[in-house]
Structures are given as structure tokens and as C-alpha cells.
């Protein structure tokens, strides 16, 4: 893995996490409101950029190696959803999320 | 019959399953397409734009859009702290599909990681399955 590909993997991950949070926030809103449109547009844009970066990375790495990097997003998204969107994060949900992230990291290290 | 199908389609948990299956399908198409796409200059390659020359990439994009629509429906009804961990069952399904359809090799360590992901998904899913039964 070169510094460029590491940076691209990182940027794709951050944009993807932001996209999920903005989309979730948007979908809880009144679908006709201006606030929905703004949040939805931001979420869709960051996800689209993340998608094309990932597509470029796929030309250089095996799918089963590359894709699981996004698994780190599980713990991050669960924590941010609880902190920012004020969702309930029970210990059980957090343990589940942590196991998923750990599993995904194990997959990407092998 | 139509009523039953409609009820199923409106069920956010069913849409979550659909979303995950669509994502898995899209990833297999995208990988196939990205490999067969003609190589442009090195810098262009990193953007992935050259991948658009392959029909498989377009099929992949169609499945991405389908999964996205299902996912938006899921987001409207299920908290992110539950829906997002569950959607990560793709980290079990995608390696399995890569192995089955793309002949990619999966090491023992990777199988262990896949098993951990599955365990995490089951831990999140179990209380929900019980909750749904009680409804």
C-alpha cells in the first residue's frame, strides 16, 4: 500500500461516515422541508465522492481486501449517532458494533 | 397476495435485507468491471472514472442505486445504531461472494474476521428478533 492509496482509503472512509450521518438526519425530517433537502444533498454528495474514490481503489486491490476498511465505520458511526443524533446506544449494541469492527479489521489485515 | 407483498415491501427490516443483498451484488459487478476496464493514464486510474467504460460497472451502479433507495427507507424507521451494524453483514456476504463468483482466496485469518463480524451482527440482531416476535 502506497501513501497515496492509504490517504485515499482514509478520505473515502471519512466522507462515507459523514454521508451516513447526514442522510440519517435528513430522513428523520419532513421530506418536503428545506432542511431535509440541504442535509440530503450534503449526504448524497459526500457518499458519491466516496463511491468514486472506492471505485478507483478497486482497480488496484482485491475486493475482499479493500472493502472491509469501511468496517471501521461501524464503531465510529454508532458513537457519532449516539452523540450527535441522540440515539440510544445500549452496551449490547456497542459490543456488537465493536465485534463487527474488530472482525473487519482482522479481515483487512490478513 | 398483493396485500402481503405490499406489506413485506413496506417492512423496514425486509428493506434492510434487500439493501444488503443489492450491495453484495453491486460489489461483485464493480470489481469485475473495474478489472476489465481499459487502463487510462495512472492519475486517471485513481479516480476510477475509466471504470465507466465497462458495462459491469454500470450494472454495479444500478444495484448501488437500488440498495441506496432501500437504505433510505430503512433510515426513516430504524435508528442508525441498530441499522448500520446490521448492514455490516455485507462484510460476511461480500467476501463469500468474492470467493464464490470471483475466485478470490480467503485465508484462515480472514475467515476468523468474517466469523467475528457475523457474531457482532447476531448480538445486535437477537433482541430485535425477540422484539418483533412480541409484536
Task: Give per-residue pLDDT as tens, B42-90.
Answer: 555 566 666 677 888 899 999 999 999 999 999 999 999 999 999 999 8
User: What is the separation, in whole angstroms, between the first and last Cα of chain A?
Assistant: 13
The better pLDDT of the pair A41, B126 is held by A41
Please determine, for residue A65, whether its predicted confidence score (pLDDT) is greater than 70.
no
**Nearest residue of chain A to residue B76 (CA atoms):** A27
- Gap between the Cα atoms of A107 and A7, Å rounded: 20
Average pLDDT over residues A82-94: 94
Q: Say what the pTM is.
A: 0.82
Please determine, for residue B31, whether its predicted confidence score (pLDDT) is greater than 80.
yes
A103 to B45: CB separation less than 8 angstroms, yes or no: no
Is the CB of A30 inside 8 Å of chain B's CB atoms? no
Kindly state the DSSP code that residue B74 receives in the 8-state scheme: H
A67 to B109: CB separation less than 8 angstroms, yes or no: no
Residue B134 is predicted with a pLDDT of 59
Is the CB of A45 inside 8 Å of chain B's CB atoms? no
Domain map of chain A by residue range? 3-109
Average pLDDT over residues B115-120: 95
Is the CB of B62 inside 8 Å of chain A's CB atoms? no
* 3-state class (DSSP) for residue B61: helix
Rounded to 5 degrees, what are φ and ψ at A16?
-65, -45
Please determine, for residue A3, whether its predicted confidence score (pLDDT) is greater than 70.
yes
User: Is the ipTM reported for this complex over the cut 0.90?
Assistant: no
- Gap between the Cα atoms of A109 and A47, Å rounded: 25
Amino acid at each position: 500500500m502506497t501513501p497515496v492509496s492509504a490517504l485515499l482509503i482514509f478520505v473515502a472512509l471519512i466522507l462515507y461516515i459523514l454521508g451516513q450521518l447526514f442522510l440519517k438526519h435528513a430522513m428523520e425530517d419532513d421530506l418536503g422541508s428545506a432542511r431535509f433537502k440541504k442535509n440530503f444533498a450534503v449526504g448524497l454528495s459526500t457518499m458519491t465522492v466516496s463511491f468514486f474514490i472506492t471505485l478507483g481503489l478497486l482497480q488496484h486491490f482485491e475486493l475482499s481486501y479493500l472493502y472491509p476498511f469501511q468496517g471501521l465505520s461501524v464503531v465510529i458511526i454508532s458513537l457519532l449517532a449516539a452523540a450527535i443524533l441522540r440515539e440510544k446506544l445500549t452496551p449490547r449494541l456497542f459490543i456488537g458494533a465493536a465485534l463487527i469492527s474488530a472482525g473487519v479489521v482482522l479481515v483487512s489485515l490478513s | 397476495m398483493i396485500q402481503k407483498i405490499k406489506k413485506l415491501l413496506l417492512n423496514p427490516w425486509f428493506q434492510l435485507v434487500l439493501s444488503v443483498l443489492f450491495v453484495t451484488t453491486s460489489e461483485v459487478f464493480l470489481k469485475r468491471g473495474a478489472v476489465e476496464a481499459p487502463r487510462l493514464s495512472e492519475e486517471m486510474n485513481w479516480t476510477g472514472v475509466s471504470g465507466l467504460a465497462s458495462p459491469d460497472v454500470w450494472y454495479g451502479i444500478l444495484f448501488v442505486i437500488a440498495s441506496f433507495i432501500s437504505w433510505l427507507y430503512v433510515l426513516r424507521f430504524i435508528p442508525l445504531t441498530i441499522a448500520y451494524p446490521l448492514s455490516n453483514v455485507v462484510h460476511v456476504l461480500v467476501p463469500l461472494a468474492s470467493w464464490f463468483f470471483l475466485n478470490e482466496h480467503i485465508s484462515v485469518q480472514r475467515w476468523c474476521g468474517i466469523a467475528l463480524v457475523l457474531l457482532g451482527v447476531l448480538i445486535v440482531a437477537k433482541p430485535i428478533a425477540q422484539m418483533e416476535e412480541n409484536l
